[in-house]
A and B are shown apart, each in its own frame.
Chain A
Amino acid sequence: TQLLEQSPQFLSIQEGENLTVYCNSSSVFSSLQWYRQEPGEGPVLLVTVVTGGEVKKLKRLTFQFGDARKDSSLHITAAQPGDTGLYLCAGARSGTASKLTFGTGTRLQVTL
């Protein structure tokens, strides 16, 4: 059972457009992380959010953790071809020794 559902599954946009990726669950997480993975490589951590309602910005990327700590979103402003990749959210629960549950993934393609 996949506990973290991401939407959309696939997104193809042109350079300069904005986009939002959603990560939803019925479970509460103590923290939530976002990763980006490129072909042939392992996922690379972008950000960790731990407080309900928290908003973090990383250049053109804005991450938000839901108030109830069940959902999160990733917003990219003015997408660039270098943003292309597989975006994965991952949640950790209290008392699970850092074990992560990964989302279903969103594949983003940004074209010129």
Chain B
Amino acid sequence: SAVISQKPSRDICQRGTSLTIQCQVDSQVTMMFWYRQQPGQSLTLIATANQGSEATYESGFVIDKFPISRPNLTFSTLTVSNMSPEDSSIYLCSATGTGGWMADTQYFGPGTRLTVL
């Protein structure tokens, strides 16, 4: 199976600053997604990271707050901008493909635990 890594694994940030989270997959994938998860709770989809075009955001999430890049088929970044304590959460990326071992299923990175003071 593929390996999905995220950097940083955790960070503590000051209010008003921005943090960029990186997600790297060790093989080419079709779809990449970004989620937010409060500890012990379920996952909420932030957006779909589209290769070569703007990300598709879910209701309640906007590009100015969560800009996303996906320059190629194996890498994506999520930036949490102008952070406030309410942004403290775990941010997860996932990847899926349409064939072989990744057909129509999502595989997740280990997450980035963000604390905003």
Size of the chain B interface, CB-CB below 8 angstroms: 24
A88/B4 in contact, CB under 8 A: no
Size of the chain A interface, CB-CB below 8 angstroms: 25
Tell yes or no: B25 within 8 A of A by CB.
no
The B contact surface, by secondary structure, is strand
A99 to B8, CA, bound (A): 25
A100/B42 in contact, CB under 8 A: no
Q: Which B residues are in CB contact (< 8 Å) with A31?
A: 104
Within 8 Å by CB of A98, from B42, B44, B96, lies B96
Q: Which A residues are in CB contact (< 8 Å) with B116?
A: none
List A residues at the B interface (Cβ < 8 Å): 2, 31, 33, 35, 40-45, 48, 86, 88, 90, 92, 97-105, 107
10 A–B contact pairs at CB < 8 A?
A: A35-B108, A40-B113, A42-B110, A43-B43, A43-B108, A45-B105, A99-B48, A101-B45, A102-B43, A103-B42
